[in-house]
Structure 1
């Protein structure tokens, strides 16, 4: 069964004033791994997840956007966090390309294509959602469903196995890059159900070999 996948990050001696810098650093590692340096959506949310954003900007990242620097990570973060508040969260949607199988006709192997997948990088004020950062991290990365890395429902051939491994390599490259370059004190890669992702990945890769 598909599961939501998250990466929670904590920083030593963290202060709210440092949040824009840390968000920019994490987004920078995402750009390093994915090749995508532009933000798709930037939002600022008050109080908890039930409230509507008090700020939101949707960027159109097509050929025309190359003439503007507004959607570059550092600029999008600066705009969204211009007013820092303890009871707010700041969310940035970015996209990377992951291998996904297309439905195949009976008797044929699936065709795999690189498809855009949304990732959300969220920085939490200490009072947002009753101090949820203690469990979620000062910054949490939401990868969406873990399907691209596990593909539990797919019977894959050699090509499919290689595509899943490439998705896993991209995920791990991002996690390791954050560890190396963002000055974190701890991190946790976790799923909503609590089932350890590492065990799921190991089990899946063993089935592929």
Structure 2
């Protein structure tokens, strides 16, 4: 069964006014791995997730228009956090390309293609959602469903297994880059169900070999 995948990050001696710089650092590590320096959407939500956003900007970064420098991580973060408070969450939607299966007809095997996959990088003010940063991290990266790395319900051939492995390598590269460059004190890669991702990956690889 597909599961939501997250990476929670905590920083030593964390101060709220340092959150923008930490967000920029995490987004820049994502850009290193994805090759895309642009933010797709920036959103600011007050108090808790049940509230309506007080700020949102959607950037058009496709072939139809000339991308604006406003969508670069540092500029997007600066704009979104300009009037920020301790009770707000600052969310930045970015995209990377992952290998994903494309369903085929009954007589043909599924083909795999690189396709955009949305990731959300969220910085939490200490008073947002009753201090949920203690469980979620000062910054949480929401990867979406874990299917690009596990794809539990599918029987994979050698070629498909290689695609999954490439997705895993990209995930690990980002995680290690954040650990190396962003000065975190701790991190946790976790799933919504609580099932350890490492065990799921090992189980998948054992079925492939």
Q: Please classify the TM superposition score into its range, dividing by the shorter chain length.
A: over 0.9
Q: Give secondary structure in 1 for the equivalent of 2:135.
A: helix
Q: 1:103-114 maps to which residues of 2 (within 5 A)?
A: 103-114=103-114
TM-score, length of structure 2 as denominator length: 0.98
In structure 2, the partner of 1:78 is 78
Q: Give the CA deviation at 1:107.
A: 3.3
Tell me the C-alpha RMSD between the 2 structures: 0.8
1:3 is aligned to: 3
**Take 2:2 and 2:143, find their aligned partners in 1: how far apart are those partners?**
12
- Work out the CA distance in 1 between the residues paired with 2:188 and 2:113: 29
Determine whether 1:92 maps to 2:73. Answer: no
TM-score by length of 1: 0.98
Moved over 2 A (4+): 63-66
CA apart distance, 1:108: 2.0
* Structure 2: stretches of 5+ with no match in the other structure: none
Query: Which residue pairs with 1:150 in the alignment?
Result: 150
**Contact in 2 for aligned 1:109/1:157 (Cα 8 Å):** no
Which residue is 1:116 aligned to? 116
The alignment status of 1:168 with 2:168, answered yes or no, reads yes
SS at match of 1:129: helix
Query: Any unmatched runs of 5+ in structure 1?
Result: none
Residue-by-residue CA offset, 1:141-179 (whole Å, 9 max, x unaligned):
000000000011111111101000000000010000000
Q: CA deviation at 1:105?
A: 1.8
Hey, what does 2:42 align to over in structure 1? 42
